Amino acid sequence: MQKRYASIWFPYLISNWLVLRRPALKDTAFVITSAERGRALVKALSEPARTQGVTEGMSLADAKAIVPGLQVFSDKAGREARLLRAIGEWCIRYTPFVALDLPDGLILDTSGCPHLWGAEEDYLKEIVSRLKTLGYEVRAAIADTIGTAWAVARFGEETRVINSGEQATALLSLPPSALRLETVALQRLQKLGLYQISSFIHMPRAVLRRRFGADLLLKLARALGQDEERIQPLQIMPPYQERLPCLEPIRTAIGIEIAIKKLLEALCKRLQGEGKGLRTAVLTCYRIDGKVIQAEIGTNSPSHHITHLFKLFLLKIPSIEPALGIELFVMEAPKTEDVSPLQEALWIANPGLDDQGVSELLDRLAVKVGAQAIHRYLPDEHFWPERSLKPAASIQEKTTVPWKTSRPRPTQLLAMPVPIEVSAPIPDYPPMLFIYKGKRHMIKKADGPERIAQEWWLQQGEHRDYYYVEDEDGQRYWLFRSGHYSEQGSQWFIHGFFA
């Protein structure tokens, strides 16, 4: 595929932004200044100020002499970068590859994108008109190279599309500064009367290098496509991403469902072809009012099962507010894993405890109640109950040691034992009653003790004697005494509850 780039130039970036914040400044001559070496210089200006003769780089004193009623505002460091980044993120609806071109432009890699809006002319017209609607004066061009697009956008007569392979023709009538040359090279060209690129583009390369330096050859080669120029996109495009632009803004839940299904079909087809499944999927909706809405789902095991993933997104649709309409849907899978042949078989068969339906049920519950509310634990090689289990990393993780089933364990285990008050117990017997959270419990039945000692290599301390007790209401508890029986009174704890 032939690479194509769009250069978007904002000749009044900061002044347009200021007018948006202060509408009263419209049609007013004003400048934004910055301090350099103790002097206030014009960094940006409004179109009325430029019309009256003010230019960038001029001292504030000279600007005021030209325009007596000139309004002055101070610049803030990094404002252009922040503003361009925000506009660039908005432009991601047109292509996933958007890069900053400081101090006043953006570079878009448009390869393979314009056909979604029709021809390249329609695509570029859509971008420019939308940016103008947002309040920014814009010039733009599309070409095979970044250099040519940049030059035509800033020095061409109008916003235009350069046909593939016609970079040289488009550059001939432009000034040398359209090549983004260094100041020294520009001064030498002007001194020799070379005011257009056509004046030197056909000169021998050795002559150009000797007279004007290697930078001119590099910039010229990049503009003509003889040397590759790379850009650093604002966002790194995930390897698995699908985009769906809409001919008309989508405002209904049914329209959103159709968009999600189409995106899932395309995304899962790619994943299945590569033997992968997604663990997380993010749906990004770009609204025509400029706002971006996201909905995210996750799975316990890698999946390219379209029906299941679609059901998960259906639970998210009520949170997607289309407002005036959604013009672009983007679905990406930032986290993927290999799908084993066994997992693929599970989507068709139901082999008992390994049924894939269990994983899919957990996925749906996670969407409804949150993944943080679902936990799976595995046995761990420790004696004390609070150390005898560990959180599982995934639903596929296998146990390395067996569960201890020789003695009963409570259905609910407290994270840490809680002290309780007890009646005077008899040695090797549970107490007759205990008080927990201010409530008195008379013990009617009991079993034990079960002695559990802690690992001496981890911590020194008393052993525990556990008892299974039942109160007069039929509620069962797991109590223990810390250490040996003492006539002065031993410390008792509650550690769990039985069903």
Task: Clarify whether residues 134 and 232 are in a common domain.
Answer: yes
Asked whether the CA dihedral 92, 97, 100, 104 is positive or negative, the reply is negative
Q: Are residues 29 and 124 in the same domain?
A: yes
Q: What range does the domain containing 435 cover?
A: 412-497
Number of domains the chain is built from: 3
- pLDDT means per 10 residues, the chain with 499 residues, are 91 94 92 88 93 93 92 91 93 92 94 87 94 94 96 90 93 94 91 92 90 92 92 85 89 94 94 91 91 90 90 92 92 89 50 61 76 78 82 74 83 91 80 92 91 79 90 94 78 93
Q: Considering the domain boundaries, does residue 471 fall inside one?
A: yes
- One domain for residues 124 and 29: yes
**Residue 375, pLDDT score:** 76
If DSSP states are collapsed to H, E and C, what string results for 431-498? CCEEEECCEEEEEEEEEEEEEECCCCCCCCCCCEEEEEEEECCCCEEEEEEECCCCCCCCEEEEEEEC
Let me know whether 272 and 153 are in one domain: no
pLDDT score at 348: 46
* DSSP structure class, residue 156: S
Three-point CA angle 201, 202, 206, nearest 5°: 95
Q: Considering only CA atoms, which of 362, 387, 367, 369 is closest in space to residue 377?
A: 387
- Half-sphere exposure of residue 6, counting CA atoms within 13 Å on the CB side? 30
Let me know whether 66 and 179 are in one domain: yes
Q: Tokens standing for 395? A: 């639903």
Counting Cα atoms < 13 Å in the Cβ hemisphere of 225 gives: 17
* 3-class state of residue 422 by DSSP: strand
Residues 138 and 151 placed together within one structural domain of the fold: yes
Question: Could you tell me if 33 and 143 lie in one domain?
Answer: yes
What confidence score (pLDDT) does residue 361 get?
76
Residues 483 and 351 reside in one and the same domain: no
- The pair phi, psi for residue 242, each rounded to 5°, is -130, 145
CB atoms within 10 A of CB 253: 13
| Together in a domain, 223 and 313 | no
- Give residues with Cβ within 8 angstroms of 248, minimum separation 6: 325
pLDDT of residue 352: 44
Distances (CA, A) of 54 to 66, 105, 184, 218, 309: 7, 21, 24, 33, 59
d(CA 339, CA 274): 9
Q: Which two tokens stand for residue 267?
A: 């995304």
Query: Going by C-beta distance under 8 Å and a sequence separation of 6 or more, which residues neighbour residue 224?
Result: 145, 147, 148, 167, 168, 171
Instruction: Tell me if 382 is assigned to some domain.
Output: no
CATH number at residue 78: 3.30.70.270
Token output for 295: 């909905």
Contact yes or no for 164/240 (Cβ under 8 A): no
Statement to judge: residues 247 and 284 lie in one domain = yes
Last residue of a domain, one of 220, 237, 254: 237
Listing DSSP states for 278-308 in one string gives EEEEEEEEEETTS-EEEEEEEEEEEE--HHH
- Say yes or no: 431 and 338 in one domain: no
On whether the pTM is more than 0.75, the answer is: no
Q: How far is CA 49 from the centre of its chain?
A: 40
Largest CA distance in the chain: 111
Q: Which amino acid is at 23?
A: P
